[in-house]
Amino acid sequence: MAKKLNLDALIPREDFDVKDSEASPTSKSLNLRITDLEAGSFFFGSLRKPDFQRESNEWDQGRVFSLIESFLSADLIPAVILWKNEAGYTFVVDGAHRLSALAAWVNDDYGDGLMSKLFYESIIPDEQKEIASRLRLKINKEIGPYSDYQLAMRNPEKLKPEIVTKARQLGSLAIQIQWVDGDAKKAEASFFKINQKAAPIDKTELILLEARSKPNGIATRAILRGGKGHKYWSSFEEEKQDSVQKKAEDINDILFKPSLKTPLKTLDIPVAGQNISSQSQMLVLEFVNTVNNIQDKQFLEDDKTGDETIEILNNCLKIARLVNSNHPSSLGLHPAVYFYARNGRYKPASFNFFLRLIMELRLKNKLNDFIKAREKLEEIVLSYDDLPRQIVRKYRTSSAGAPHVVDFYIQAINFLNKGLTVEEVIAEIISSPKFNYLTTKPELSFEAEAVDFDSDSKSEVFMSEALKNSIKCQICGGYLHTNSISIDHIVRKQDGGVASSENGQVSHPYCNTGYKN
């Protein structure tokens, strides 16, 4: 799958209704020159995306490269649609990705440059840097950096003839501009009408755009970027802004660090997969809504004070710590066991299933039941990973199947704590009326055998071997993840135990501080 660039920092966001004392001039240009996209230009300085605009992170390297190449070749590029408000800001109604791609070339910022660093306060994921670096190398080799085209006009003898020729033509190239006339309401209506017809907005993105002032929408955006980037919470009091940013950063760290690199060569992998993947928005939105018991299509009022957003983030932080952290409450669910397939691919549905499971066990004060059964339950999770997929297929979607997957694991926990073996547990469950459609027979596969190992097969080989040799909790027997390890006194301190290596053992934080005591 092609990796997408994050160019969201190049055109900042602003509220459509922002006002200023002076009205903007009535005359508007009908063409946009490449120099208009230089960071110091008056036009670029006034350019904004509406605060409900989707993030500019949907184009991959090939698409950005093609757009720049097409512009330099004088190929037809669709017009951009703009609207100017009373404060003089120029808003992009349609064409934000086109303008961002050209601005990336002009300002040498493909998601890792000066503007991006300022926007994200220098906190840029490693994968984002790698994608940006690869595109920069390709563009500099095959097209040439924008700075070369500027140099060609001053010192043509220093550049290749083809760049000099294109540089001379560059001044006459332009993108056509269409302007929306009317007030902010008409401009907003135009935005949604255009974007839903030409290039439909992703369902999750549309939910977040419409919920941009709702507490769950603000919390989701904050978590996704670790409290960095555009501040949808900027209207809150400064103290509450700081609280939102700190909590969001802590949650982001738990969910998305360290960065995921494939093929896998370590089991130190993030709980929630890649932060810049297309599925991360849906995963975090579902996480926020599930933790806070917010139902689909439930109406929420706009959060004007920040109190509701902070409450939602507090709840999310508690559960994130419970899932995997060094907090004393942490169960330390190992991502490789619970959230990844055998080939190293992330499974967002599994994250949702086990999130719901531990929340239900926590609500019913049955976390200790999970700890007692954990070692064998993890054997079921690893050895019978096709059974949840069969449940989802029966109910057609992961959201509809989630309650039944949770029930499957609760039954497994109950049977294990009655002393049944793993095989006996599975036999009991699939013979019950509710789950009698499940089968443990392997699915037939007709895939041709490849000669070389691809990324997935390399990851599968590594995960299989690494899990065999992975350390386990000395209290419950479950797998230990490096982000969630506690050192436990074998003989407790209150019983005279000392802090010696002979009296120490590794454990999950909850097993040490909650279950054991």
- How far is the C-alpha of 187 from the C-alpha of 92, rounded, in Å? 10
User: Residue 86: its pLDDT value, please?
Assistant: 81
Fill in the amino acid letter for 125: P
Residue 271 is given by DSSP the state T
Give the tens place of pLDDT for each residue, 139-185: 999 999 999 999 999 998 988 898 999 999 998 899 999 998 888 88
User: Residue 18: its pLDDT value, please?
Assistant: 56
Fill in the amino acid letter for 74: A
CA angle 411, 296, 437 (to 5 degrees): 35
CA 13 to chain centre: 20
Burial of 459 (0-12, 13-18, 19+ CB in 10 A): buried
- How far is the C-alpha of 312 from the C-alpha of 316, rounded, in Å? 6
User: Residue 50: its pLDDT value, please?
Assistant: 86
- The alpha carbon dihedral of 457, 463, 466, 469 has a sign of negative
Averaged over successive runs of 10 residues, the pLDDT of the chain (517 residues) comes to 82 72 60 94 93 80 93 87 88 92 96 93 87 95 94 90 90 90 81 63 70 91 91 93 97 93 90 82 94 88 96 98 96 97 92 97 97 97 95 93 97 98 97 95 59 77 91 95 83 61 83 81
The whole-model pTM stands at 0.76
Token pair recorded at residue 420: 């049944």
Token pair recorded at residue 151: 């140099």
Q: 9 with 112: CB under 8 angstroms?
A: no
Cβ count near 59 (within 10 Å): 21
Residue 511 is given by DSSP the state I
User: Residue 20: its pLDDT value, please?
Assistant: 45
Residue with token string 């989701």: 220
DSSP string computed for 204-230: HHHHHHHTTTSHHHHHHHHHHTTT-SS
User: Residue 22: its pLDDT value, please?
Assistant: 41
Token pair recorded at residue 183: 């007030």
Residue with token string 């993890």: 378
- How far is the C-alpha of 224 from the C-alpha of 285, rounded, in Å? 9
Residue with token string 């000669």: 451
Helix axes 398-416 and 386-395, enclosed angle (nearest 10): 140
Q: 25 with 36: CB under 8 angstroms?
A: no
Burial of 445 (0-12, 13-18, 19+ CB in 10 A): exposed
Name 75's Cβ contacts closer than 8 Å, sequence gap at least 6. none
Residue 513 is given by DSSP the state I
- How far is the C-alpha of 270 from the C-alpha of 290, rounded, in Å? 20
Q: Please, which residues bridge with residue 340 across strands?
A: 346
Residue with token string 């063409």: 31
Q: 382 with 374: CB under 8 angstroms?
A: no
- Three-state DSSP class for residue 399: helix
Name 31's Cβ contacts closer than 8 Å, sequence gap at least 6. 174, 175, 176, 177
User: Residue 21: its pLDDT value, please?
Assistant: 36
